[in-house]
Amino acid sequence: MKNRIFVALLLSTVLALPGFAQQADTSGQAAPASQSAGPRDPLPAQTPTDFWDGDDPNLINLITHPFASKKYVQRMTRPIKDRLNELDEITESNRGAIKDIDTRAQQGIQLASEKTSLADQHATDAATKAQLAQTTATQASTRVSNAEQVVGNLDQYKGGAQTEIRFRPGQSVLSKPAKDALDEMAAPLKDQRNYIIEVHGFSSGHGQAAITASQKMADSVVRYLVLNHQIPVYRIYAVSMGNAPTAAEGTAAKHVSGGRVEINVMKNDLVSSAQ
C-alpha cells in the first residue's frame, strides 16, 4: 500500500515538473522581447510543437525532460547570443566612428591653430611694414622741407670780396699784379660751394667795339679762374658792359677811360647752414 502511494506521488511530481519548466522557459523568452528597443525586430517567442518539443515520449525522456540538457540550453540561448553578438558589433562600430570623429576634430583644431598663428604673423609683419613706411614718409617729408628751404634761399646771396683788374687801352692780357689779385681772391674759395662770381667787363670807346673789348677782358679773367683755380664755369657769370657809365659812392655817374674788370664774390650763408 505504501509503495503504491509513493509511486503515485512520484508520477504526479514527474508530470507536474514539465509544466513548470515550460512556464519558466516562456517567461525567460518573453523578457528579452519586451526589453529590446530600436529598429531591430524583437526575438520571436518559440512555440513548442508538443509537450516534448521534439523529444520522444518515453519513460526515460519523461523522467529526464525536466532537467535542461546541453542541446536544449544551446537551442534556447542561441537567439540571445546572436543578438548579443550584434550588439557587440554595433558597439565596436560606434567606437570606431567616435574615434574617427575625434581624430578629425583634433586635426581641425590643429589646422585652425596653425592658420591663426599664420594670420597673427602676417598681421605683425603688416604692422611692422606700416611703421617702417610711416618712418620713411616722415623722413621724406623732412627732406622735402629742407629742400624747399634751400631752394627758397638760393637767391639770398650777399656781396663779399670785390676785386678790380685794370687793363691798358686795347689789351686783354692779364698783368702780373692782376694775376696776384685774382689769386688772393680765389684762394679762400677752395672746397666751398655756397658762392657765385660776377665778372663785369668795361671798356672805353663807343658801341659794339667797346662791348667786344670788354668781353675779351672779362673772358681773360674767367679763363684764369677756371684754369688756375679750378673754379666751375657754372659758378661764374660774365657780362660785357662796354662803355657803360659807373658811379662811385657819393658821385655822379661818369665814363671811365681805359679797360677794367670788376669781380664780385657773392656768398649764400643760409644754404651753407642748411647743408
For every residue of the chain, DSSP letters joined together read: -HHHHHHHHHHHHHHHHHHHHHHHHHHHHHHHHHH--SSSPPPPPP--SSSSTTS--SHHHHHHTTSPPHHHHHHHHHHHHHHHHHHHHHHHHHHHHHHHHHHHHHHHHHHHHHHHHHHHHHHHHHHHHHHHHHHHHHHHHHHHHHHHHHHHTTT--EEEEEEEEEE-TT--PPPHHHHHHHHHHHGGGTT--SEEEEEEEE-SSSHHHHHHHHHHHHHHHHHHHHHHH---GGGEEEEEEET--B--TTS--B--SSEEEEEEEEE-HHHHHH-
Q: Which of 30-34, 38-42, 186-190 has the highest mean pLDDT?
A: 186-190
- Tell whether the model's pLDDT for residue 116 goes beyond 60: yes
pTM listed for this prediction: 0.42
Going by pLDDT thresholds of 50, 70 and 90, the confidence category of residue 4 is low
State what percent of residues in the chain have pLDDT above 90. 19
* Other CB atoms within 10 Å distance of the CB of residue 199: 22
* Other CB atoms within 10 Å distance of the CB of residue 141: 10
Looking at 67, 88, 115, which one is the last position of a domain? Answer: 67
Let me know if residue 203 belongs to a domain.
Answer: yes
Let me know if residue 221 belongs to a domain.
Answer: yes
The CATH number of residue 207's host domain is 3.30.1330.60
Please give the pLDDT value at position 65. 55
Let me know if residue 28 belongs to a domain.
Answer: yes
Looking at 67, 101, 123, which one is the last position of a domain? Answer: 67
Let me know if residue 127 belongs to a domain.
Answer: no
Lowest average pLDDT, out of 28-32, 149-153, 211-215, 229-233, goes to 28-32
Average of per-residue pLDDT values in the chain = 76
Summarize the confidence of residues 17-21 as an average pLDDT.
51
Supply the range of the domain harboring residue 241: 158-274
Let me know if residue 213 belongs to a domain.
Answer: yes
Rounded CA separation 222/231 (Å)? 9
Please give the pLDDT value at position 195. 87
Q: For residues 89 and 50, which has the higher predicted lDDT (pLDDT)? A: 89
Q: For residues 69 and 135, which has the higher predicted lDDT (pLDDT)? A: 135
Let me know if residue 24 belongs to a domain.
Answer: yes
Rounded CA separation 113/120 (Å)? 11
Please give the pLDDT value at position 39. 57
Let me know whether 162 and 58 are in one domain. no
Summarize the confidence of residues 7-16 as an average pLDDT.
58
Going by pLDDT thresholds of 50, 70 and 90, the confidence category of residue 101 is very high
Summarize the confidence of residues 142-152 as an average pLDDT.
72
In one-letter notation, the amino acid at residue 23 is Q
Number of domains in the chain: 2
- Of 101, 107, 194, nearest to 150 (Cα)? 194
- Contacts of 269 by beta carbon, 8 Å cutoff, 6+ apart: 158, 194
Let me know if residue 132 belongs to a domain.
Answer: no
How long, in residues, is the chain? 275
Looking at 49, 67, 85, which one is the last position of a domain? Answer: 67
**pLDDT tens column, 179-224:** 999 999 888 888 888 888 999 999 888 888 888 988 999 999 999 9
Let me know if residue 230 belongs to a domain.
Answer: yes
